[in-house]
Structure 1
Amino acid sequence: MPAHPVSFDELYAAHYADLTVQLYAYFGDRQEAQDVVQEAFCRALTRWRAVSAYEDPVAWIRRVAWNLAVSKWRRSRTALSFLRKQRPSDEHVDGPNPERVALVAALATLPPAHRRAMVLRYLADMPVAEIAERESVPEGTVKSWLHRARTALAAQLSAEPTETTEGVRNA
């Protein structure tokens, strides 16, 4: 048993940086080293009555940190091995085309109620009656929102008649 029992806070303050440097040298990643050392100290704190009675509590924390580091390294190695064995996906998804970007930008300029009505009607294929019920407004209000939204979108998307906006209007 140590001459005078050291508090957890004192031990942490005195040894956290040293242990982190040691694990950093192993991992080559400072964040991983900090995570492992933090976890080791958390485990020591939950068992502090027993750990503080050890002849060298730092040795116990260091052992736990190294065990955690090795476990993490093994899990990473296993995951990489698994990923290497997987067939590469032939499926390639292109990013959004210019028409979609223009449409999303135009939708963003609409008032929220109009934008919701357009999305629910044309993307979710909801009937006007269902949109009205969902929004707690009369059907005439939803029809008005849709009309105003279509008018605003048509004005925005036809402001610069280009090949891109032509595709949006035809979509």
Structure 2
Amino acid sequence: MTIWRAIQADITTLAVDAIVNAANSSLLGGGGVDGAIHRAAGPGLLEECRTLGGCPVGEARLTRGYALPARHVIHTVGPVWRGGASREAGKLAACYRSSLGVAEAHGLRTIAFPAISTGVYGYPIDRAAGIAAATVDDVIRRNPDLFEEILFVCFSAPDQAVYAAAIEAAAGA
């Protein structure tokens, strides 16, 4: 049975099988959580990312974790919020499904997600949290023993509260 919850922490400090990077499509580093992950992992991460040829929105790619406590990094590219009429919800859900698919394919059982697309990409956090929780809940319901633990890692206590409420709503549905 998968344990899933929201925590307030620095995702770069977690000793899990994989942390998910809210990357840009080049996979070559950027701001926010992407920049923090690249800085914490060290130059090997950038070198490996250069060999991947980028990543389209909604897909995911796997690298080693290098200097991170996490063994791997799953890079996914979330949608930029454009008001909701550009199929952002489906693209964001695809980020979670793709990331969990990569984790499953590589036998990774403990996964930590950031709040994908809620920073500079401007996705409203309440909507993003609802999509994240509903998508993860769907995956867990279909295969309850696939993952040991899935974390939604939030930078602030208010963000953690939003994700915790979304998890409660999805799990209770």
Give the structure-1-normalised TM-score.
0.25
| Structure number with higher relative contact order (C-alpha < 8 Å, ≥ 6 residues apart) | 2
**By percentage of residues, which structure has more helix?**
1
Higher Rg of the two aligned structures: 1
Give the structure-2-normalised TM-score.
0.25
**By percentage of residues, which structure has more strand?**
2
